Amino acid sequence: MITSPAWAGKRYAVLGLARSGAATVRALVAAGAKVVAWDSDEAKRDAIKPLPFRGGVGGGGSLTETSARGPHPNPVLGEAAPSSFRSMRGIDRPETPEGEGLLTIAPLDDLTGFDALVVSPGVPINTHPIAAKARAAGVPIIGDIELFAEARSALPPHKVVGITGTNGKSTTTALVHHMLQTAGVPSLMGGNIGAPILGERPLPEGGVYVLELSSYQIDLTFSLDCDVAVLLNVTPDHLDRYEGFEAYRASKLRLLDMQSSEHVAVVASEDNGVGPAVRSMTTGAELTQWFGGNYATDFAAEQSEWPALQGPHNAQNAWSARVACLALDLSHDVIDAGLRTYTGLPHRMERVGTYDGVTFVDDSKATNPESAAPALAAFPRVHWIVGGKAKGDDLDACLPHLGNVIAAYTIGEAGPVFARVLAPHVAVHEAGTLAEAVRLAAAAAQRGEVVLLSPAAASFDQFTDYAARGRAFREAVEGLR
């Protein structure tokens, strides 16, 4: 795992014990930090408990949990008696001296004296009461990416690529990682994709960490100086977490503002590329000159050779990945090979089957109209499954591509609203459920046409997440056989 000796002896509060939070606790405790952690989900708290701990003051053999009813008193200290870290699941390390690596599971009622509060990106720090407690106590609020940034000086010499934007982050991150792997360069993919970065083994010298970064993660990060920072696009999204679009946009741009002047920024702007001098879009500070071409024109002939990178949005993603990898000194031949052999990610323009000449495409990750629009543009004859928990009342970004849509099949909470928006333009069937939408679309589609799940909305009205929605789509399609 990735740790830093600078954390030893410090006190950290950790809120949220899902994957990234649990990895954060493991890394901090392994480094010798004193951690108090909490999650409102008892199952997540219980998942931490089975880790083997050495007996602490008072001799217990497991970590201490302090309940909301009050602490279990330590007869010496008059407080909850924690237990020392010895080893964690799958990780062997020697026993640490008494007093090091202490972990307590307890509600974070008082943050006085902590060096930092580490929160998971899903915690809404604009509204959660823990943020006010931290400010009152003068405790900085950070995330696991900031801890990674702090740990970099202790890692073997390496580079970091940070990738953000509203749409295309995951594909571009995976594509850069694939190109590095194609070149034989040691690399890890993390951040908002893959395994939590602090839970990974450090790369050897010359390795590259490729991080997908959401605005939520950037909000909790203050010292990540990316060797290459990629800003794909910024369109309205997640506005429930921000005062408005400009605040959301400013969050994305901070990735560039954290860079040193000698590092490279790749900005794929809405007008199809940037000039040879790339600047920080908020401060105007000059960054290293880098020009990789214009994706609107450079890739027109090549894109047909990239099976998993179809559509105008993937032209932008491919351009950005190509320029980032040129900045990492990869050759054009290796980059081109990576573009040809990239297989794509689940639920992002993923072809899940072809039956009777009809292709079924899972684009469940398209959770807003801006990310659904490129999928509509990629296919000439589409039966479009759309709907879910809407992030707005319109589908304006999709309207220019409705000429490709034969019929729309609306689902979920947004179904009635989207049906009214689309009815003047295309035939609409209010299917309600995903399974019914697949059944109706499959019955109507003709050979050579595409049934496309690209919902332009979040999944949380009917599914636990976009991946569960995509799996349900695949199951419904497979049920047609």
pLDDT, tens digit, 9 for 90 and up, residues 319-369: 889 889 988 999 999 999 999 999 888 998 899 999 999 999 999 999 999
DSSP 24-83: HHHHHHHTT-EEEEE-S-HHHHHHHTTS-EE--TT--SS-EE-BTTB--B-TTTSSB--E
The DSSP element (H or E) to which 217 belongs, if any, is: helix 215-219
Question: Do residues 11 and 85 share a domain?
Answer: yes
Nearest-5° Cα angle at 444, 439 to 446: 120
Q: How confident is the model at residue 245 (pLDDT cuts 50, 70, 90)?
A: confident
234 and 308 assigned to the same domain: yes
Q: Which two tokens stand for residue 276?
A: 């040879």
Residue 217 CB neighbours (<10 A): 24
Distance between CA atoms of residues 360 and 351, nearest Å: 6
Q: What is the pLDDT of residue 300?
A: 67
125 plus 167 within the same structural domain? no
> Residue 359, Cβ neighbours under 10 Å: how many?
17
> Both 176 and 97 in a single domain?
no
Distance between CA atoms of residues 167 and 374, nearest Å: 10
What sign does the CA torsion over 143, 239, 375, 453 have? Answer: positive
* 107 lies in the same domain as 241: no
| Residues 290, 226 share a domain | yes
Cα 67 to its chain centre, rounded Å, is: 32
Q: Which domain holds residue 136?
A: 5-142
pLDDT digits (tens, 9 = 90+) for 247-262: 888 898 899 899 998 8
Q: Pick from 109, 142, 175: which residue ends a domain? A: 142
Whether residue 459 contacts residue 339, with contact meaning beta carbons closer than 8 Å, is answered with no
CB 174 within 8 A of CB 339: no
CATH of the domain at 116: 3.40.50.720
Nearest Cα to 132, choosing from 115, 154, 109, 114?
A: 109
474 Cβ contact list (under 8 Å, min separation 6): 352, 353, 362
Q: What is the pLDDT of residues 163-196, one digit of tens each?
A: 999 888 999 999 999 999 999 999 999 999 989 9
* Amino acid present at 16: G
**Residues 159, 164, 170, 173, Cα dihedral to 10°:** -20
In the sheet with 358-362, reading across from the earlier edge strand, the strands are 350-355, 358-362, 450-453, 382-387, 405-411, 427-432
Boundary residue ending a domain (295, 322, 341): 341
pLDDT greater than 60 at residue 291? no
Answer yes or no: is pLDDT of 134 > 80: yes
The amino acid that residue 426 corresponds to is: V
Q: Note whether 298 and 432 are same-domain residues.
A: no
Same domain for 189 and 332?
A: yes
pLDDT bracket for residue 314 (50, 70, 90) = confident
Tokens of residue 217, six digits: 């993660």
Beta strands, E only, 402-475 = 405-411, 427-432, 450-453
Alpha-carbon dihedral of residues 100, 119, 151, 112, nearest 10 degrees?
Answer: -50
Task: Check which CATH number belongs to the domain holding 165 and give it.
Answer: 3.40.1190.10
* Residue in the block written with tokens 């702007």: 269
Secondary structure class of 93 (helix, strand, coil): coil
* pLDDT at site 304: 83
Least confident among 58-67, 102-111, 287-296, 354-363:
58-67
Q: Compute the average pLDDT of residues 39-68.
A: 57
Compute the half-sphere exposure of residue 238: CA atoms within 13 Å on the CB side of its CA. Answer: 21
Q: Are 339 and 303 in contact (CB under 8 A)?
A: no
Return the active site residues. 169, 192, 238
Shared domain for 31 and 104, answered yes or no, is: yes
Burial of 38 (0-12, 13-18, 19+ CB in 10 A): buried
pLDDT at site 236? 73
Whether residue 132 is found in the same domain as residue 273:
no
How many angstroms separate the Cα of 177 from the Cα of each of 173, 273, 311, 347? Answer: 6, 22, 21, 18
Interior/surface letters 432-464, b for 16+ CB within 10 angstroms, e for the rest? bebebbbbbbbebbeeebbbbbbbbbbbbebbe
pLDDT score, position 101: 42
| Tally of domains in the chain | 3
pLDDT digits (tens, 9 = 90+) for 459-468: 999 999 999 9
Give residue 347's pLDDT. Answer: 94
Instruction: Decide if pLDDT at 424 tops 50.
Output: yes
Last residue of a domain, one of 295, 316, 341: 341
Mean of the per-residue pLDDT values of the chain: 84
Question: Long-range contacts: 47-53, Cβ < 8 Å, 24+?
Answer: 47/17, 47/22, 48/17, 48/22, 48/103, 48/105, 49/105, 51/26, 51/87, 51/88, 51/89, 52/86, 52/87, 52/88, 53/83, 53/84, 53/85, 53/86, 53/103
Name the more confident of 26 and 307: 26
Q: Are residues 117 and 164 in the same domain?
A: no
pTM of the entire predicted model: 0.77
Q: Which CATH number goes with the domain that contains 407? A: 3.90.190.20
Local confidence band at 55 (pLDDT 50, 70, 90 cut-offs): very low
Q: Rounded to an integer, what distance in angstroms lies between the CA atom of residue 357 and that of residue 200? A: 43
The answer to whether residues 373 and 406 belong to one domain is yes
What is the model's pLDDT at position 295? Answer: 56
3 state SS of 179: helix
